[in-house]
Amino acid sequence: MVSTIALGADHAGYGLKEALKAWLINYGYQVLDLGTHSTDSVDYPDYAALVAESVVDHKVERGLLICGTGIGMAMAANKVPGVRAALCADLYTARMSREHNDANVLVLGGRLMGADMGADILKAWLETDFAGGRHARRVDKIADIERRHAGDRSGEVAPRRPARSP
Ligand code: RB5
């Protein structure tokens, strides 16, 4: 049973983060709120990194990230090796992201849903177990890709063009 969860949001996700933080505390979860703490404009990758790193450093069991669409947070969090961040907008994808993909970070779009929908998705995500079996083999292959590309192309804009010979 999951008990600790890190939260991160930008200005567009701040309102939903606050609502879901209250929901989590009410249901007995321990929350690590890594910001942001107002609707002042901030950059979503800063919060994606904080939450993603707290998950892979085992400070918490799971992470929740919220920006306007969820897209930028998901892109940024998935750059951290070991993070499997899933952008979910409904109950089915929330359950499947746990059952099939063993997602350790849930990403929501704060401009796409209200607090009740967000809480329903979060509840389903927290309460669904990874199915393992053939899905474990596939998740292991995600880690294989990370290992193959570790230190490779870091900071570059993909696709990389081949170097020209002098
Ligand atoms: C902020 O305006 C917005 O770009 C951000 O919250 C997010 O939706 C990015 O993916």
Domain ranges of the chain: 4-149
What local confidence, expressed as pLDDT, does residue 162 receive?
A: 52
Tell me, using a 6 A CB cutoff, whether residue 104 lines ligand 1. no
The full DSSP string for 55-95 is HHTTSSSEEEEEESSSHHHHHHHTTSTT--EEE-SSHHHHH
What local confidence, expressed as pLDDT, does residue 158 receive?
A: 53
Which range, of 16-25, 30-39, 131-140, 142-151, averages the lowest pLDDT? 142-151
CATH number attached to the domain at 4-149: 3.40.1400.10
Tell me, using a 6 A CB cutoff, whether residue 10 lines ligand 1. yes
Any residues with CB less than 8 A from the CB of 62 and at least 6 apart, and which? 2, 4, 5, 6, 55, 104, 105, 106, 126
Residue 165 has pLDDT above 50, yes or no: no
Tell me, using a 6 A CB cutoff, whether residue 65 lines ligand 1. no
Q: How far apart are CA 69 and CA 75, in angstroms?
A: 11
Give the relative orientation of helices 115-127 and 14-26 as an angle to the nearest 10 degrees. Answer: 50
Pocket test for ligand 1, best of 39, 67, 73 (most atoms within 8 A of CB): 67
Catalytic residues: 67, 100
Q: How far apart are CA 65 and CA 17, in angstroms?
A: 8
Ligand 1 centroid to Cα of residue 93, in Å, is 21
Tokens of 114: 């209200």
Q: Write out the H or E segment, with its range, that includes residue 5.
A: strand 4-9
Residue 157 has pLDDT above 50, yes or no: yes
Q: How far apart are CA 131 and CA 109, in angstroms?
A: 26
Nearest protein Cα to ligand 1, atom 7: 68
For the chain, percent of residues with pLDDT exceeding 90: 89
Tell me, using a 6 A CB cutoff, whether residue 110 lines ligand 1. no
Residue 145 has pLDDT above 70, yes or no: yes
3-state secondary structure of 132: coil
What local confidence, expressed as pLDDT, does residue 143 receive?
A: 97
Give me the phi and psi of 4, to 5 degrees please: -120, 135
Ligand 1 centroid to Cα of residue 115, in Å, is 18
What local confidence, expressed as pLDDT, does residue 81 receive?
A: 97
For the CA of 109, the closest atom of ligand 1 is: 8
Tell me, using a 6 A CB cutoff, whether residue 25 lines ligand 1. no
Any residues with CB less than 8 A from the CB of 123 and at least 6 apart, and which? none
Per-residue pLDDT band at 156 (split at 50, 70, 90): low
